Amino acid sequence: MSEPIVQLSNVTKRIGNRTIIDHLTLDLHPGEVYGFLGPNGSGKTTTIRMMVGLMKLTEGEITIKGHSITDSFEKAIRQVGAIVENPEMYKYLSGYKNLVHYARMVPGITRQRIDEVVKLVGLQGRIHDKVKTYSLGMRQRLGVAQAIMHKPSLLILDEPTNGLDPVGIRELRDYLRHLAKSEGITVFVSSHLLSEMELMCDRVAIIQHGKLIDERVISQDGPAKDAVSRYRFEVDRPSEALELLAQHSAVVTQEGIELDTDRETAAWINAQLVSAGLKVYGFRPHVKSLEEQFLEVTGGETVG
Amino acid sequence: MGNFMELVRNENMKIYSRLRTWIMMGIMLVIMLAASIVVLLLDEGVKSMWTVLNSEVFSGTMLVTIFTVIIAADSVAGEFSSGTIKLLLIRPWSRSKILLSKYISVIQFAIFFLAVLFVWTYIWNGLFFGFSSGSLQELTNESSTGSVWSFVLSGLGLQFISMMLTTVTISFLLSTVFRSGGLSIGLSLFLMFMSDTIAGLMSLIDKPWKDYFWFMQSNLTQYLSNGPDVTHEHTIYFSLGILLVYYVVFLAITWWQFMRRDITS
């Protein structure tokens, strides 16, 4: 695996005697889309604020491309583009002037580059209108534009799909994956839309009460062929099926029976059941969605 | 790294893109013009353009102080209330430089408005009462000699220094500490208007330490009249020194607060 581009090590944030973030350690690699999941108040936004230097760390260290966000803030933040919570812009300025404003703060952003990102986020038609006339979706796009304008190596997006319509969400998702795969930008997204994260991310971390409770790889091409998963067989006489499959430790459920097996064996079991005269209405692997996994690890706490 | 003046340009863009700023300018211009017209119509004993100009510039400076306080208060607090502070501070610039760019743009705003004030009143009063070089007696009723220009401009300069050192910087301080524009505008203007009253009350105290309060020293224009029969309790350097000490303390608190704060808005 390549050298991590972002490292959070033992990051801790205490306010008073409340521990908001508790020894959080994460590594982000170049070109991956990393999801950051957690229930409300679990510390997602606080973590992001610490990563961009808006909040100080009580303990631990955050480095971006080897530069500490605390000790060499300017070098570290140069690598970062971000939207923290809502994309708040100067409402009395046009979208274009907002971009000029941020462009002036980083050397080397040309007018052409600004026009390029405006086109990229599809705001050409309205870019010279005042931001106060923009819809939430358009503000979100402008937010993305200011975040990618200076070609950062790390893009941090807090709830980026908020306020976008389904088409916008799809476009954003495709665009983020494109940025990560073809330009090698690391994308760090927090979201409460679990299904979204599943489609967008390579890895997800789940935090709760400021602690990392799980981190897993999401496969974008579905489970591997020989992977064992939970198969559900819908049959007319479950108890008979159970007897037949005694050696497979199957259990009876409402619909039929369930057991752990791989793809090939599942097909073989189906043939067995049919030849024994049972009616098989259907069988399918049951892949746990991220949402189910999430509820499982967070103990069913509501996600918002 | 980048060019610091670009930050100041950004702050100026934010100030002058707002309609509010030009409404302030309009109010100032209309009031000054109206004052000259009233004098032209009602007072037939005007000696020269300079008497009208001098009093207009004096009261106009108060108006500019109020406007500058509003700009200073909004400069930092406005970024917090709109949430734009988050996107502003995640750029490759230290917080202290971003705050400095804001402070500089506030000073530039005050200088710009005072310059417009002077030019505007000069033009209209010249047109109404005749352009003249004037003499100092008309303004001071003393037998002092010297240039009217330097008298009026040093008055303007001293008022500017006094307002920057106290009222405007206090507004900037309160804006940073409380992140509330309304509170800092209200409180700093209250201090400005009360300073004469407070100074009057304090002068009743017969203790030497009373001279170390900024209220006692904020009126720098008193030092302009320096005829043989005028005596001052202190020198202008003493007053300036006291104000500077306060100024440094105000700025230190402002910067310290801005640098250490966690941004949670």
Is residue A158 within 8 Å of A84, Cβ to Cβ?
yes
* Average per-residue pLDDT for chain A: 86
Report pLDDT for A221.
60
Least confident of A5-14, A144-153, B206-215: B206-215
- Helices B236-260 and B95-129: crossing angle in degrees, nearest 10, is 140
pLDDT at A236: 86
Q: Answer whether A303 touches B (CB < 8 Å).
A: no
Residues in Cβ contact with B228 at an 8 Å cutoff, skipping those fewer than 6 apart = none
Residue A6 contacts residue A62 (beta carbons within 8 Å): yes
Q: Across all residues in chain B, what is the average pLDDT?
A: 89
Would residue B51 count as lying in a domain? yes
Residue A164 has pLDDT above 80, yes or no: no
Q: Answer whether A88 touches B (CB < 8 Å).
A: yes
CB contact under 8 A, B93 and A105: yes
What is the average per-residue pLDDT within B87-116?
96
What is the pLDDT confidence band of residue A297, given thresholds at 50, 70 and 90?
Answer: confident
Can you give the residue range of the structural domain that contains B65? 4-260
Asked if A93's CB is within 8 angstroms of B14's CB, the reply is yes
Task: Give the per-residue pLDDT at A20.
Answer: 92
Check A107 against B1: CB less than 8 A apart.
Answer: yes
CB A104 to CB B14 under 8 A?
no
> Which residues from chain A sit within 8 angstroms of residue B7, using beta carbons?
104-105
How far is residue A206 CA from its own chain's centroid? 10
Q: Give the pLDDT mean for A216-227.
A: 66
Return the pLDDT at A245. 81
The answer to whether A90 contacts chain B (CB < 8 Å) is: yes
Could you tell me the two tokens for B38?
């009233």
Search chain B and give the residue with CA nearest A51: B90
Q: Tell me what pLDDT residue A303 has.
A: 44
Among A18-22, A153-157, A254-258, name the one with the lowest average pLDDT.
A254-258
Tell me, what's the pLDDT at B115?
Answer: 96
Residue of B nearest to A81 (CA): B90
**pLDDT band at residue A226 under the 50/70/90 scheme:** low
More confident residue, B225 or A124: A124
Q: What is the pLDDT of residue A304?
A: 41
Q: Do B93 and A74 touch (CB under 8 A)?
A: yes
pLDDT for B102: 97
Q: For B127-168, how does the pLDDT look when each residue is reduced to its tens digit (9 = 90+)?
A: 998 888 777 777 776 656 678 888 889 889 999 999 888 899
Inside any domain, residue B213? yes
Name, of A200-204, A213-217, B64-68, B228-232, the range with top average pLDDT: B64-68
- Say which residue the tokens 């140069």 belong to: A78
Angle between helices B148-163 and B95-129 (to 10 degrees): 150
Where are the domains positioned within chain A? 6-217, 229-286
CB-CB contact of A210 with A15 (8 Å): no
Of A85 and A195, the one with more pLDDT: A85
pLDDT of the residue at A241: 83
A104 at the B interface (CB within 8 A)?
Answer: yes
Q: Which residues are A19's β-sheet partners?
A: A14
CATH topology for the A6-217 domain:
Rossmann fold (3.40.50)
**Structure tokens that stand for A102 in this block:** 């941020």
**Nearest-CA distance B165 → chain A (Å):** 29
Judged by CB atoms closer than 8 Å, whether chains meet at B10 and A77 is answered as no
Rounded to whole angstroms, how far apart are CA atoms A141 and B248?
43
With respect to residue B132, please indicate whether it lies within any of the assigned structural domains.
Answer: yes
For residue A84, give how far its alpha carbon lies from the nearest alpha carbon of chain B (Å): 7
Mutate to test the interface with A, among B12, B13, B74, B87 (most CBs of A within 10 A): B87
Q: What is the pLDDT of residue B118?
A: 95
* Of B49-58, B66-75, B173-182, B202-211, the least confident: B202-211
Read off the pLDDT band of A262 (50, 70, 90).
confident
Check CB contact of A166 with chain B, cutoff 8 Å.
no
Instruction: Give contacts of A149 with chain B, Cβ < 8 Å.
Output: none
Across A158-177, average pLDDT: 82
**Residue A117 near residue A145, CB atoms below 8 Å:** yes
Q: Which residues contact A114 (CB under 8 A, 6 or more apart)?
A: A96, A99, A100, A103, A149
**B251 to chain A nearest CA, in Å?**
22
Q: Give A53's contacts in chain B (Cβ within 8 Å).
A: 89-90
Q: Distance (Å) from the C-alpha of residue A227 to the closest C-alpha of chain B?
A: 44
% residues pLDDT > 70 (chain A):
93
Residue B222 has pLDDT above 90, yes or no: no
CATH number of A229-286: 3.30.70
Nearest by CB: B91 against A83, A92, A102: A102
For residue B99, is it within any domain? yes
Name the domain count of chain B.
1
Query: Between chains, do B86 and A74 touch, taking CB under 8 Å as contact?
Result: no
Task: Name the residue among A78, A89, A101 with its Cβ closest to that of B10.
Answer: A101
Residue B101 in domain: yes
Residue A300's pLDDT band, with cuts at 50, 70 and 90, is low
Is A175 touching B (CB cutoff 8 A)?
no
Instruction: Report residue B39 as tokens.
Output: 């004098």
Task: Quick: pLDDT tens for A44-86.
Answer: 999 999 999 999 999 999 999 999 999 999 999 999 999 998 8
CA distance B174 to chain A (A): 21
Query: How do residues B205-216 score in pLDDT, each as one tens digit?
Result: 888 888 888 888
A41 touches chain B (CB under 8 A): no
For residues A11 and A25, the answer to whether their CB atoms sit within 8 Å is yes
Return the percentage of chain B with pLDDT > 90, whole number: 60
**pLDDT, tens only, A104-141:** 999 989 999 999 999 988 899 999 999 999 988 889 88
ipTM of the assembly? Answer: 0.88
Interface test with A, best of B14, B75, B90 (most A CBs within 10 A): B90
Which residues from A are below 8 Å from B90, CB to CB? 52-54, 77, 80, 82, 84
Could you count the other beta carbons within 10 Å of the beta carbon of residue A220? 12
Q: Per mean pLDDT, which range of A2-6, A247-251, B85-89, B111-115 is the poorest?
A: A247-251
Give the whole-angstrom CA distance, residue A157 versus residue B154: 54
User: How close does chain B come to A287, measured CA to CA in Å?
Assistant: 39
Does residue B265 lie in a domain region?
A: no
